[in-house]
Amino acid sequence: MEEKYFEILAEDLKKFVNSLISDNFNVIAPKDKDGDTFYGKIDKFDEANLDILLPKMSYKEYLLPKTETLFEYSVSGVDVDIKDGLGAVTGENKKRVIFGGRPCDAAAGPIMDKVFNWDYKDEFFNERFKNLTIISIACKKPDNYCFCTEMQLSPESSYGSDILLKKEDNKYFAAVVSEKGLELITPYLSLFKEITKAQIPADKDWKKVFEIEKTKGFLDKNFEHNYFQDRFLSCIGCGICTYTCPTCHCFDIQDEGNLKEGRRIRNWDSCQFAIFTLHTSGHNPRVTQGDRYRQRLMHKFKIYSEKFNKYLCVGCGRCSRNCPEDIDIKEVVKDLAGLI
Amino acid sequence: MENIYLPKLAEIKEIIQETNDTKTIRLAINGGSIDFLPGQFGEFSVIGEGESTFGFSSSPLRKEFFEFSFRTSGRATTGINGLNPGDKLSFRGPYGNYFDTVGMKGKNLVFVGGGIGMAPVKSILEYCFDERDDYGKITVLYGARTVNDLLYRNVFDDWKKYKNTEVVITVDPGGETPDWTGKVGFVPTILEQLPLKGENSIAVVCGPPIMIKFALKSLEEKMGFDKENIITTLENRMKCGLGKCGRCNVGSVYVCKDGPVFTARELESLPNDF
Amino acid sequence: MEDKKEKPVKSGGNNVSDPRIIAFVCNWCTYSGADLAGTSRMKYSDNVRVIKLPCSGRIDPLFIVEAFKKGAKGVLVSGCHPGDCHYISGNYHSRRKYAAFRDLLGFLGVDLNRLEFSWISASEGNKWVSVINEFTDKIKSLNDNSSDIFKK
Amino acid sequence: MANIDEKLQKIAKDLLESGEVSLVIGFAVGSNPQRMRPVFITKAEDANRLSFNHHAVQDLAVFLKKPEVKKFGKIGIVVKGCDEKALNALIQEYQVSRDNIKIIGVECNGVIRQNLADKGETAVSEASVYDKCLICNEHTPILYDYLVPSEDPKLNLSGNLKPYARIEELDSMSPEEKNSFWEKEFDKCIKCYACRQACPLCYCSRCIVEKNMPQWIDTNLEETGNAQWNLIRAYHLSGRCIGCGECERACPVNIPLMLINEKMARDVNNLFGYKSGLDINAKPVFGVFSESDFNEFIK
């Protein structure tokens, strides 16, 4: 689609979001809770915290819920009755809008989309993705943990967003980059004033600190390098980095219930757990935490990129900020880029 | 719109107790087999106990049933172990790549299996028997720890009946019984005693990692097999089988999609992560 | 699926008037006590399902959680009187465990009226009957809508 | 501050040079000046990386359960008072041998809450430290081989702030109210198991949630599975938790886990007169019993 550009006053943006809510959209925005900020459903515009750099968790759960029912079953005798779980997802007719997220979070959508559709089509994901409209706000001031610029994005990138807002004083510039975005604002066009691309302030020249290709180059050749074992002695093997990550998508499939009735579900899972690859025989290909953290790096910066020509990382830095033992992935990736 | 995680229900036709902890289960959907190719696998489960990954062990050309073999060890297999003929088993698949049966045509074939690793080998082996005229000499070498650990004992004699075919069964030293008439020795050792040449030949190897390691060495170094002509199948922990759940990736491959069948050449380029 | 959940409820179901109670009992004292009640033709509420274990020391708190998880409206744990344990000290150990576990459940919002502990010896058939009857009455009197953290 | 760092570095250097230990686990400056991180020193010349200040929130005793760390054999470890209690509990439970460990105790007058530190807080005060610091009786570690004294002023307690005040609030609520409070909290849980992994006393090589025959704890990340997991985690730590607060600090969704842990610690103390982690020769509270134990709840 040809991009369209608009200008909207801060007060009109508020009106716009409030109208979305009253028109039955589920609006998800950064929201203060227990002294931190998380994505959550808002009932009015003022509940959204648009000043925070990034909420503590990503909004991945709106694409890949923590637990998803794949199907429900009931058994009588030798007969098994299976009720497709997809029905419940398509039943969620109410459309969701993610409002006030950052470009890095938005970029995670298309990155995950590749995994869920590269071969078999995962309709659970697709159905949710289809019904999600993403309005992001460009960052002015990334912090030290951010590295989206190195990850082929930027604090002002519109990749993955449907509408990208840029704030200036008391107004916002809106770049509508998808049909979905245009469709969303069309009923409210009176609040927007169409402008040309030239009228939007140009992106800043964001400087890279390191070259991610070099990190990949290191990972290509140094599977057995001591770095992994030494550096990740301080990793305690919790799943925080993977669970707060907007792009980590690994899951587990489990049956829950009894032999009469129950459901098959998929749950979030993490490559940082020893049990992730543990075979029933007791053999585990990834014995140490170093092996497991290496796998996370490999998956993000090598395996995924070799398949899909992009990286499985948007540089949001959540894993670093949330790590209880202060393992900073930006530092790690930079180290690796320097080692080659 | 299709839910790719939704299983089909297959009816159990027959259960063959192979050893005291392994069984082969013969299944049918709508009274017959499904379309699959040798080397592929499926996700099998008793609904309520979780899925488990097994390779098919029957020839896809035998249309009345399809089968897999399993060893009872965890929750899913314990559940399957409790089933009887007539019960339903949930099944997803077939998934993964397969043996290059076309490329094998006209070649001499060597099949090497160890323990329960014989299951996927049996599928391709019986496929080749079913199309016997397409292939050259067939040599089967199968070994297990003890006589009682040998699977498929009921079909060894059938295999021997095919023309131009040599079937060698061996057990590890100490695993023989007084009336054992087969060989005694580890699979790689016995393999080296066989009159095999790498020219115009393809070897299919599957078994425990240590057996694969030494068998590959023997085939390459002693018999002159080219790495492209040695084929094995990998087993990683899998959940979805669809290239999504992220569990089985090694190097830059998803074993469930890009595998499980790999040549020794391809294995060489993978990191030691399986 | 929805209609199938509404199966006809047999005795000891999950409705208010007929709540299911799971009793974890020790093999040596309480089970024999219950047995005595039975052989003496004493009548007691039939809502209870007895699960026999070697000793009250074997009754892991996980069992209690599991019972609630599966829909039990009440759980009774019962073993030998202090000093009478067949294994000398099993019931002393379990008493400590349960004092703490009970506190924890209470703190997390489980209605402690649904969890009962008792010492019943092999000769106390009468006590078994009264404990079961009283417990059943208590559970029936509770507001069934009180949710608990194990179930939706 | 620098004085403390020098002392720590000297001790570590001597220990490594003399071969008394092959690894020193300590703190070093982290990814920003308001963060400290664990550091693993194996060479005497690297000892100068060691540092300590009121941002050293981690409990380093947690690393002693890692097989990769155990391999080092004799280990020196930098601990605050609360962390040292974890060591005591580990020694009590035969997880760590006193002979294999050199305890480098540091006096601590409180560590600053990490979310405040990340927002720029650098001063130790009643309002900026964790609740655990407000009730701490072990500012000086109980057991140590070396002690590095603090140069921070003593924590000034006004008494106006009530640590873990919500415990009493909850205690006075009805079961329904408590239930709905915890339901909301557990609903946030994402089962990342950071609470377990960050806990120095959660050392089982295979956790109960990782066992599926039988499946005691539902695998879902919804109400039922989350509640069961949090209940069992708390139960396994009652009478053992030493109150380092690492579970709560690590929790990415801010579940107030310390309310449960502290509640259980208080109850165990009330019921059995036992506080964990104080004495390496004491028997764990659930490993022993008394004939006169609390009996009122049993008919």
Residue A268 in tokens: 């979030």
pLDDT value, residue C120: 96
Digit-coded pLDDT (tens) for D52-110? 999 999 999 999 999 999 999 999 999 999 999 999 999 999 999 999 999 999 999 99
Say yes or no to pLDDT of B195 above 90: no
A-C contacts (CB, under 8 Å): 9
A270 at interface of D, judged by CB pairs closer than 8 A: yes
Q: Report residue D44 CA to chain centroid gap.
A: 28
CB distance D215–B75 less than 8 Å? Answer: yes
Residue B116 in tokens: 């329960």
Contacts of B188 (CB under 8 A, 6+ apart): B211, B214, B215, B217, B218
Residue A49 · residue A31 · CB < 8 Å: yes
Say yes or no to pLDDT of D129 above 80: yes
C152 at interface of A, judged by CB pairs closer than 8 A: no
C88 at interface of A, judged by CB pairs closer than 8 A: no
Residue B182 · residue B154 · CB < 8 Å: no
Give the count of domains, chain B: 2
A326 at interface of D, judged by CB pairs closer than 8 A: yes
B82 at interface of D, judged by CB pairs closer than 8 A: no
Residue A58 · residue A108 · CB < 8 Å: yes
Number of Cβ within a 10 Å radius of residue D217: 27
ipTM, two decimals, is 0.90
Helix pair angle (C90-107, D175-188), 10° resolution: 80
Say yes or no to pLDDT of A94 above 80: no
Cβ contacts of A72 on chain C, cutoff 8 Å = 1
pLDDT band at A84; cut points 50, 70, 90: very high
Q: SS3 of D285, please?
A: helix
pLDDT value, residue C8: 41
CB distance D170–C101 less than 8 Å? Answer: no
pLDDT value, residue A93: 58
* CATH code: domain of residue B14: 2.40.30.10
Interatomic CA distance for residues C14 and C1, integer angstroms: 18
Say yes or no to pLDDT of A328 above 90: yes
Residue A153 · residue A107 · CB < 8 Å: yes
B-D contacts (CB, under 8 Å): 7
Digit-coded pLDDT (tens) for C76-91? 999 999 999 999 999 9
B72 and B47 co-located in one domain = yes
Q: Is residue B270 part of a domain?
A: no
pLDDT band at D160; cut points 50, 70, 90: confident
B159 and B199 co-located in one domain = yes
Residue A121 in tokens: 């089509």
DSSP letter for each residue of B55-115:
EB-S-TT-TT-EEEEEE--SHHHHHHHT--TT-EEEEEEEES----TTTTTTSEEEEEEEG
Residue A54 in tokens: 């990034």
Query: According to DSSP H, which parts of chain B are helical?
Result: 75-81, 118-130, 156-161, 187-193, 209-217, 255-258, 264-268
Interatomic CA distance for residues A290 and A230, integer angstroms: 7
B112 and B229 co-located in one domain = yes
B50 and B129 co-located in one domain = no
Contacts of C139 (CB under 8 A, 6+ apart): C19, C21, C47, C73, C74, C113, C114
B150 and B179 co-located in one domain = yes
Q: Tokens 């020790």 appear where? A: C26
Work out the average pLDDT over A299-317: 92
Say yes or no to pLDDT of D150 above 90: no
Interatomic CA distance for residues A261 and A57, integer angstroms: 34
Cβ contacts of B251 on chain A, cutoff 8 Å = 303
Q: Tokens 């079913």 appear where? A: B130
Contacts of A289 (CB under 8 A, 6+ apart): A232, A233, A235, A236, A237, A272, D66, D68
CB distance D212–B75 less than 8 Å? Answer: yes
Work out the average pLDDT over B150-161: 90
CB distance D179–C108 less than 8 Å? Answer: yes
B69 and B184 co-located in one domain = no
User: What whole-number percentage of chain C has pLDDT above 70?
Assistant: 82
pLDDT band at C5; cut points 50, 70, 90: very low
B12 and B89 co-located in one domain = yes
Interatomic CA distance for residues A212 and A151, integer angstroms: 7
Interatomic CA distance for residues D56 and D67, integer angstroms: 24
* CATH code: domain of residue B188: 3.40.50.80
Say yes or no to pLDDT of C9 above 80: no
Say yes or no to pLDDT of B10 above 60: yes
Number of Cβ within a 10 Å radius of residue B183: 16
Digit-coded pLDDT (tens) for C99-125? 999 999 999 998 899 999 999 999 999
Q: How many helices (H) and strands (E) does chain C have?
A: 5, 6
The answer to whether C and D touch (≥3 CB pairs < 8 Å) is yes
* Residues of D engaging A, defined by a Cβ cutoff of 8 Å: 30-32, 35-40, 58, 62-63, 66-69, 115, 118, 190-194, 196-198, 206, 210, 218-222, 225, 246, 249-250, 252-254
Which residue in C has a C-alpha nearest to residue A81's C-alpha?
Answer: C1
Domain boundaries, chain A: 1-61+77-205, 210-340
Residue A217 in tokens: 């180059």
Say yes or no to pLDDT of C3 above 50: no
Say yes or no to pLDDT of C10 above 80: no
pLDDT value, residue D81: 94
Interatomic CA distance for residues A167 and A9, integer angstroms: 10
Closest C-alpha among D71, A245, D229 to residue C108: D229
Residue B43 · residue B93 · CB < 8 Å: yes
User: What whole-number percentage of chain D has pLDDT above 90?
Assistant: 83
Given A234, A237, A289, which is nearest D40 (Cβ)? A234
Say yes or no to pLDDT of B82 above 70: yes
B155 and B221 co-located in one domain = yes
Contacts of B272 (CB under 8 A, 6+ apart): A223, A224
Given C66, C97, C109, which is nearest D175 (Cβ)? C109
Interatomic CA distance for residues C115 and D80, integer angstroms: 41
A-D contacts (CB, under 8 Å): 111
Chains touching B by CB (3 or more pairs below 8 Å): A, D
Q: SS3 of A2, please?
A: coil
Contacts of D113 (CB under 8 A, 6+ apart): D121, D128, D129, D130
Given C62, C109, C149, which is nearest D216 (Cβ)? C62
* Residues of D engaging C, defined by a Cβ cutoff of 8 Å: 170-171, 175-183, 186, 208, 216, 218, 223-224, 227-228, 230-232, 234-235, 238-239, 260, 263-264, 267-268, 271-272, 285-286, 289-291, 293-295, 297-299
Work out the average pLDDT over B126-139: 91
For B89, the domain range is: 8-95
The answer to whether B and C touch (≥3 CB pairs < 8 Å) is no
Q: Report residue C85 CA to chain centroid gap.
A: 19
Closest CA–CA distance from residue A133 to any residue of chain D (Å): 24
Closest C-alpha among B62, B6, D266, D249 to residue A324: D249
pLDDT value, residue A95: 86
Q: Tokens 């409206």 appear where? A: C73
B83 and B131 co-located in one domain = no
CB distance D215–B74 less than 8 Å? Answer: no
Torsion of CA A33, A35, A36, A40, to 10 degrees: 10
Which residue type, as a one-letter code, is found at position A195? I
Work out the average pLDDT over A162-182: 93
Number of Cβ within a 10 Å radius of residue D33: 12
Digit-coded pLDDT (tens) for C123-147? 999 999 999 999 999 998 887 655 5
pLDDT value, residue A279: 85
B217 and B112 co-located in one domain = yes
Which residue in A has a C-alpha nearest to residue C69's C-alpha?
Answer: A257
CB distance A90–B1 less than 8 Å? Answer: yes
Say yes or no to pLDDT of D283 above 50: yes
Q: Is residue B187 part of a domain?
A: yes
Buried b (16+ CB within 10 A) or exposed e, A167-188: eeeebbbbbbbbebbbebbeeb
Q: Is residue B271 part of a domain?
A: no
pLDDT value, residue A248: 95
B77 and B135 co-located in one domain = no
pLDDT value, residue C14: 56
Say yes or no to pLDDT of D2 above 80: no
B88 and B60 co-located in one domain = yes
CB distance D254–A33 less than 8 Å? Answer: yes
Q: Which structural domains are found in chain C, ordered by start?
A: 18-141 (3.40.50.960)
B73 at interface of D, judged by CB pairs closer than 8 A: no
pLDDT value, residue D161: 84
Digit-coded pLDDT (tens) for D250-280? 999 999 999 999 999 999 999 999 999 999 9
Q: Report residue B57 CA to chain centroid gap.
A: 6
